[in-house]
Chains A and B, each alone.
Chain A
Amino acid sequence: MNISRSVNARFGWRLKFNSGVVPLIIGISILGGWLLVAIFAPLLAPYDPIFQDAAVRLKPPSMAHPFGTDNFGRDVLSRVIWGARIDLQIATFGVVFAFVIGTTVGSIAGYYGGWVDMVLMRLIDVVLAFPFLVLMLTIIVILGPGLGSFYVAMALVGWVSYARLIRAQFLVLKNSDFAIAAVSLGYSHKRVMFRHLLPNAILGSIVFSMSDAVLVLLNGAAISYLGLGVQPPTAEWGTMIAEGQGFITIGWWITTFPGLAIVLLAMGFSMLADGLGEILGVRQ
């Protein structure tokens, strides 16, 4: 009786633990896999991603070219492999700047409150209501097409979510005992904010950044698809899809495989976010 109950209790604990662990492991495996593909792209890719071979134009998948070739006779598999470098970079930098700016602004707004908070919150309202694509397209046109402009645009738009998350945490945390203790010990505002409050507030943002990476990745690919991001002949998944669209009737493989690569990488980030959120008890 006792034994079975303890087994049950254990099993129950295990199940709860597992519900986050499975997606976490799958997510880490997918991301780790893509990271390895990106790092070892020169070793893994069977061909040069931008080498054009007129003899093998628009060939369907075969042993020599598992993902087929595109209209320039380039090997699609090699281009997907090299594309991992660019698209992982898009997901990373598209999130990092927004994360840093948003965390800083959110900390300041939440900690100081008052008119500082009010001004920053109104600014957040404006950015939230601003048509996001208008901002992104105009910034990219102003600064010129390319990933640099895309990162600037993503940072200018994306910081809002992080600022709101951190601010909400700070509003609660700044009245907690440990924060009051730190203030009464005479620590500077900077120290209380970034050494005491932030470590306790940042978990939710870290989990959110993983699902944010999915959105950023899709936006980066969409911008490249519109011809404003990564420029040909560089191998990037969104650009590859755009280039293959014109040949969709005679070469489905040119657009299908880079798209599947995006879906797989995005799933890796989503699973990681789900698993982390569940284990850390962060509700999104």
Chain B
Amino acid sequence: MHRYRFILYRPIQLLPVLIGISIIIFVLVRSIPGDPVRALLGARGTPESILRIRAQFGLDEPLWTQYFYFIENLFKGEMGRSILYKIDVLELIGTRIEPTLVLVGGSVLLALLIAVPLAAIAAKYRGRPVDHIIRLMSTAGLGFPAFWLAIMLILLFSIQLDLFPVAGYGKTFGEKLHHMILPWLTVALALSAVLTRNLRASILAELHSDQATAARARGLPESVVFWRHVMPNSLVPTVNLLAINIGWLISGTVVIESVFAIPGMGQLLIRGIFTRDYMVVQGVAMTFACATVFVNFMADVLTVTIDPRVKL
């Protein structure tokens, strides 16, 4: 259990990071030119009504007071009210978080389903044509703009073959599944390119490790050596790569959400930025940051679980 002790003190180390992020988000959002109240009231705004609404949202207080309100509310689990939607930001995020979670989770799963077999084949037939083809595909895959890939998939599967809907999310489970297949495929294709390259390299290194040789010497069949000994160790760097890229992945899904018109957090963020809906932008950005930090923490836990030698 000793090696799991970091679970207790890591959150304390992460606190300054989250505070730093909250300050940057607060300053950035307040630097966006334009007045949210004017944007909300438009031509209807009289000087009195503008003042009243500014006071209602606490916008007439000094900046640092606003920041402390923001932090205080965060600890109480409140993120303020959306100026545009007129409901609690937390509630708003609650209605939008599902599509984003489904998109990110499904894509990661699908990417692993693509990358693990491909990397295994490429490593097994190293230097043969199939290895070269897989490597070439993953190099090309790195350079595919996700939004363009999405449009090409829509063109092929939705417009030409009429298999999947062009955009949207749907209401029932079946509808959602049907709507999400193309977005999953888009993100997974881009992500699996990165994962395949990385996993292939670590499998190759692990195939010649002492522990693999020892397993072979004990007379274990090569397939057992590969799946029980080589693969788990090779997955450690890949899990960490996934965790490091989670921020990038979340950013990528924002663009994909806008191509497929999926009503998720990304759409909320973009709309929030354009309407100067401070509380919403803050809330979404903090949620993204916490998710990134949390995923990296979980990756550490997973690393320690897979590889008992690792000390954190």
Contact = CB atoms under 8 A, between A and B. Distances in A.
Interface of A: 122-123, 125-126, 128-139, 141-142, 211, 214, 217-218, 221-222, 225-226, 238, 241, 245, 248-249, 252, 255-256, 258-259, 262-267, 269-271, 274
Closest 4 CB pairs of A and B: A266-B143, A133-B251, A131-B288, A259-B148
B147 interface: yes
A271 B20 CA distance: 37
B143 A131 contact: no
B32 A141 contact: yes
Contacts of A238: 145
A263 B143 contact: yes
B244 to A, nearest CB: 8
A128 B250 CA distance: 13
Contact of B33 (A129, A142, A245, A255): A142
A72 B110 CA distance: 39
Contact of A134 (B16, B31, B145, B288): B288
Contact of B151 (A130, A138, A218, A248): A248
Nearest to B159: A249
A249 B158 CA distance: 10
Contact of B21 (A130, A218, A267): A130
Contact of A218 (B143, B154, B269): B143
Interface stretch (B22-30, B81-89, B217-225): B22-30
15 contacts: A125-B20, A126-B24, A131-B285, A132-B247, A133-B254, A134-B269, A136-B251, A137-B273, A141-B273, A221-B148, A245-B151, A255-B152, A255-B155, A265-B143, A270-B139
Nearest to B143: A266
Main DSSP-derived SS at the A contact region: helix
Interface of B: 16-18, 20-21, 24-25, 28-29, 31-33, 139-140, 142-149, 151-152, 154-155, 159, 244, 247-248, 250-251, 254-255, 258-259, 266, 269-270, 273-274, 281, 284-285, 288-289, 292-293, 296
Contacts of B248: 132
Contact of B292 (A129, A256, A274): A129
Given A129-B293, A134-B285, A141-B273, A225 B152 contact: no
A128 B247 contact: yes
A139 B25 CA distance: 11
Given A259-B148, A267-B139, 20 more contacts: A122-B17, A123-B20, A126-B20, A129-B18, A130-B292, A131-B251, A133-B250, A133-B269, A134-B285, A138-B31, A138-B281, A142-B32, A211-B142, A225-B145, A225-B255, A226-B258, A252-B155, A255-B148, A259-B145, A259-B152
Contact of B31 (A126, A136, A142): A142
A123 B19 CA distance: 11
